[in-house]
Amino acid sequence: MALKQTLNLRQTQRLALTPGLRQSLSVLALSAADLATLAEAEIAENPLLNWADGGAHGGGGAFDYALDNVAAAPSLSEYLAGQIALTRAPERLRQLATYLAGNLTGEGYLADSPDVVAEMLGLDVALVDQAITLLQTCEPPGIGARGLADCLDIQLRALDEPERTRRALLGNLDAFAASDWAALQSRTGLSRSEIHRLRGLLQALTPFPAESFGDRQISYVTPDLKITPDPSGTVRVDLVTSSLPVLEINHDLYQQTAAADPAAETYLRDHLSRARTLISAIAARSRTLLRIAAEIATTQHGFFLHGHDHMRPLTRSEVAARIGIHPSTVSRAIANKSLECPHGVFALDFFFTAGLPATDGKTTHSAHAIRMEIRRMIEQEPRESPLSDAQIAADLKDSGVDISRRTVAKYRQCLKMPSSNERRRSKKNL
């Protein structure tokens, strides 16, 4: 009975996705450069659609600058699309894999589950899974993974690691992070030398495959949004319209041609509907970005005024609940988008960070802010006595952060900072 209810719900949700809604969701996920490419293609095919004001992009020099720089430094989605195009996979599969490549998180993981993608596009989950497999054959290794463990497993399989060692490594990431060799030997039955080999292998893997395309603070594109603090302590959120294509419909051509040739009216009516749908989707994209940016500005107010130490926890689900949309829509909206503020230009997903509980049980701390604090503590530690993960955890608890030694070790590794023993040895050799 429960299975039947689930299937009925899925069918109802698919029927609700009209062509216009599907285009709105697709446009929402596009970067400004990809949106301009889409607009150019539509103008080439649709005689009723023009650039507003007769401009090449309707946006002026700032937008041209953005396109020039993106062309000089390809985005991750463009890099992946180029690889996918060279495969011998069926065209439909290549198109779907390219779509997925344009909807990755800032880490390079899938933004949505296969079920969500299939539901949104009206496709079978099996086809989406095939497209994911195709995407995961691309460089950088681990791209298109469902999460950290899947990302590491993709890289291990590419190295022809046997299943037993893959399970031993992926099932004990916490013990590797804590350098708990006794526990690892007990759990896996592997020798100490094999465990150390796996540790070296783990350190060589990339947990966030998208990071090879630069820091999540990006400076070579015109941002989609701008946040400006004012002297009173409030922040202003603006949409950077120079990065958007501005389109208009040639109503005169429609009326004149339809009146002169009734046989062409159906053709023109279809293209008129397409033009209206695209213009509406671009406007909806702008409204959604502004609403999300306003929530970011509210939560990360301290960051915009004072910097990284004032980052607050924020999830896509929280923003979705506040503005009344689905979390997957938030993920789609922030993909390939950037925001300029006094501290630089950042990918929008930079502002979404997990939270750690405070020792008082009432407040939470941003995981990003805690990572920055761990970096600061290690950089300022006494040269003769590097801080252990346990000492860092204890100091953070004294500051009101409820954090374990294992979490400190995980964050330290994300920062690519060696353990206290390794730091001690390296400092002795200086």
What is the rounded average pLDDT for all residues in the chain? 80
Percent of the chain with pLDDT over 70: 85
Burial of 205 (0-12, 13-18, 19+ CB in 10 A): middle
- Per-residue pLDDT at 360: 67
- Per-residue pLDDT at 23: 80
CA gap 241, 286 in Å, rounded: 9
Domain ranges of the chain: 148-205, 225-351, 355-428
Cα–Cα distances in angstroms (integers) from residue 86 to residues 98, 141, 185, in the given order:
12, 17, 44
CA 393 vs. chain centroid, Å, equals 29
Amino acid, res. 418 = P
pLDDT one-digit tens code per residue, 363-404: 677 777 888 888 888 888 888 888 999 999 998 888 888 888
- Give the mean pLDDT of 247-273: 84
CA gap 325, 394 in Å, rounded: 40
Q: Is the pTM of this model over 0.75?
A: no
- Per-residue pLDDT at 68: 43
Instruction: Provide the 8-state DSSP code for 114.
Output: H
- Per-residue pLDDT at 382: 85
Strand partners, 316: none
Residue 51 contacts residue 57 (beta carbons within 8 Å): yes
Q: Characterize the bridge pairing of strands 225-229 and 338-341.
A: parallel
- Whether 348 has a pLDDT exceeding 70, the answer reads yes
HSE (side-chain half, CA atoms, 13 Å) at 190: 20
Q: Please name the residues in contact with 39: beta carbons below 8 A apart, sequence gap of 6 or more.
A: 51, 57, 245, 247, 278, 282
- Give the mean pLDDT of 161-188: 84
pLDDT one-digit tens code per residue, 96-152: 998 898 888 878 888 888 888 888 788 888 999 999 999 998 888 899 998 888 899
56 or 208, higher pLDDT: 208
Q: Has domain 355-428 been given CATH number 1.10.10?
A: yes
- Per-residue pLDDT at 183: 85
HSE (side-chain half, CA atoms, 13 Å) at 119: 16
- Whether 407 has a pLDDT exceeding 90, the answer reads no
Cα–Cα distances in angstroms (integers) from residue 7 to residues 19, 101, 119, 129, in the given order:
22, 28, 11, 19
